[in-house]
Chains A and B, each alone.
Chain A
Amino acid sequence: MRRPTRRYSILSLLKEARHGHSGWVEAWRKAEPRSSYDVVIVGAGGHGIATAYYLAKLHGIHNVAVLEKGWLGGGNTARNTGIIRSNYLRRESMALYGLSHSLFEHLSQELDFNVMFTPRGLVELAHTRQELAELSRIADANRHFGIKSWMIPTSEVHSLLPSLDQGSHKRFPLLGALYQPRGGFARHDAVAWAYARMASQLGVDIVENCGVESIIADGERIVGVQTSRGRIDAGTIMVAAAGESPPLLAPLGVNLPIEPVTLQAFVSEPLKPFLNPVVMSGAVHGYISQTAKGELVIGGGTDAYPSHSRRGAWPPIEDTVAAMLELFPFLSRVRLMRHWGGSVDITPDRSPLIGPAGPSGLYVNCGWGTGGFKAIPGSGFVTASMLATGKVPPIAVPFGLERFAAGRMIDESAASGVIH
């Protein structure tokens, strides 16, 4: 009996080719929930799964369950534009997103799965004097804190983006841009799958179709969760359920300042390669990148009101398409093939919530709003450390819930890149 093939490499491919590809095993186990675990993570999106992986890999905690109401990575992990960058304004954000960005650099090797991280560069256009000042401020902050991102003049923008419409006829003439050469994008699904596969191999149970109905506390301590498939005991519980987190925590007296809003994105039909970097624009408001397949991935602003539906409104679609045509008018005949909406969990300062909440043993990692995908590796890394040691690591400390009462907001409404 041959041993099953788990690793993905050219050698395992050759070995399997000789044996009719009969030795491959499923990427991750479809686990049945047990009655108790050391750690239960609510939500098998990127942040939940990455946390489980680092718990098992770096902290030796393998008795972990990730409970998911729907399917693996089916929420906002599957509903974003895959952009990765770390050129934020505040030093707290630069530390967190910068860690994440640096983990992305070697993620494919670490997880033995091609997450298609493509650092083609990221150009954030300035079309008004005010934007130029704002992006220059971000560039200065980035330089000060060691994030490789700087302002470039229009001539350099045009050499990076020869297809960008330009000239004095434009309503918003180009004045410059913030450039992050290692910015880019990754395949969103692959990130969830890669973490799930490795976490599963390390003994983590990923339980899909298992919705958590309530969190059970005994006095000041967390004791377990009630799920659609019975009760599961755990001394440590982490809620990473994005916009579904507030109703789970409200019965415990924890009010998460999160508002669910729909954010939409679009994919065009495939075109010949013409766009190398990721392009973002605040004034016309859109962000566009071209995938390896040639499709354009296009994003814009959120809907104008709170919503739990994953089906967005029409006006943001029109605005986003108008923004794309303002930058690249020659795309006017290109058809959009797919469109999706995600319910993003927006906080008052556009920064996430990471830290203990309410009864002892309960933690949250949510409120990522419109920019959570790029943070998955870093967020999982620091959250795993927090769950394993019970101490909040220095990078995560500023993102605790108490910052709202203390007035220590980490205001990223400008640098988060999405108008809401």
Chain B
Amino acid sequence: MLMIRCPVCGIAADETEFTSGGLYGRLEETENRVIPRDVVREWWLCARGCGTWFGMARHVVNQRVTATWAAGDEPWDGRH
């Protein structure tokens, strides 16, 4: 089970409190991308908390969540 911390309101809870929203970035950048067996950056919604969409890095094989960030506050340069 994923344990996620919302970077906006700070609530830490399991995956049932959040909603997955697909690959991070604008739709035209992500629509044809193959999901690799690796870490992916995704949109997630703090559905039962503050209601904000935020970014999250998750490994799609071992299901480890490595980072979450607020939109506009990405831990790398520029949007991807």
Which chain A residues have a beta carbon within 8 Å of chain B's beta carbons?
A: 246-247, 250, 255, 259-260, 304-309, 313-315
> Are B63 and A304 in contact, CB atoms less than 8 angstroms apart?
no
Whole-angstrom distance from the CB of A59 to the nearest CB of chain B? 32
**Known interface pairs A304-B20, A307-B61, A309-B63; 4 further A-B residue pairs with C-beta atoms within 8 A, sorted by A's residue number:** A306-B60, A309-B61, A315-B15, A315-B16
Q: Which of B1-41 contact A (CB under 8 A)?
A: 1-2, 14-16, 19-20, 32, 34-37, 40
Residues of B within 8 A of A304 (CB): 15, 19-20
> What does the 1/0 interface line of B49-68 toward A look like (CB < 8 Å)?
00000000010111100000
State in angstroms the CA–CA spacing of A159 and B43 once bound together: 48
A308→B37 contact, CB < 8 A:
yes
Q: Is the CB of A307 within 8 A of B63?
A: yes
CB pair B34 A247 closer than 8 Å: yes
Task: With A306-B35, A307-B60, A308-B61 as known contacts, state yes or no: A315 contacts B1, CB within 8 Å.
Answer: yes
Identify the closest chain A residue to B1 (Cβ).
Answer: A314
Q: Quick one: which of B1, B60, B61 contacts A313, CB cutoff 8 A?
A: B1
| Residues of chain B lying within 8 A (CB to CB) of residue A246 | 34-35
What CA separation (Å) do A246 and B37 show in the bound complex? 12
Nearest B residue to A315 by beta-carbon distance? B16
**Which 10 A-B pairs rank lowest in CB-CB distance, beginning with the nearest?**
A305-B20, A255-B32, A314-B1, A246-B34, A308-B60, A308-B61, A308-B37, A250-B34, A309-B61, A315-B16
Chain A residues contacting B2 (CB-CB under 8 Å) are 305, 313
Q: Chain B nearest CB: distance from A273 CB in Å?
A: 35
How many Å from the CB of A56 to the closest CB on chain B? 32
Measured CA separation A247–B37 after assembly (Å): 10
Report the minimum CB–CB distance from B8 to chain A (whole Å).
Answer: 19
In the assembled complex, which residues on chain A have CB atoms less than 8 Å from the CB atom of B62?
309
Interchain CA distance A313-B3 in the complex, whole Å: 11
- Tell me the complex Cα distance, A348–B32, Å: 13
**Nearest CB to that of B23 among chain A residues?**
A306
Closest-CB distance, B14 to chain A (whole angstroms):
8
Cβ distance A309 to chain B, nearest Cβ, rounded Å: 5
Q: Which residue of B lies closest to A319 (CB)?
A: B16
CB distance from A80 to the nearest CB of B (A): 21
Alpha-carbon separation in the docked complex, A304 to B62 (Å): 15
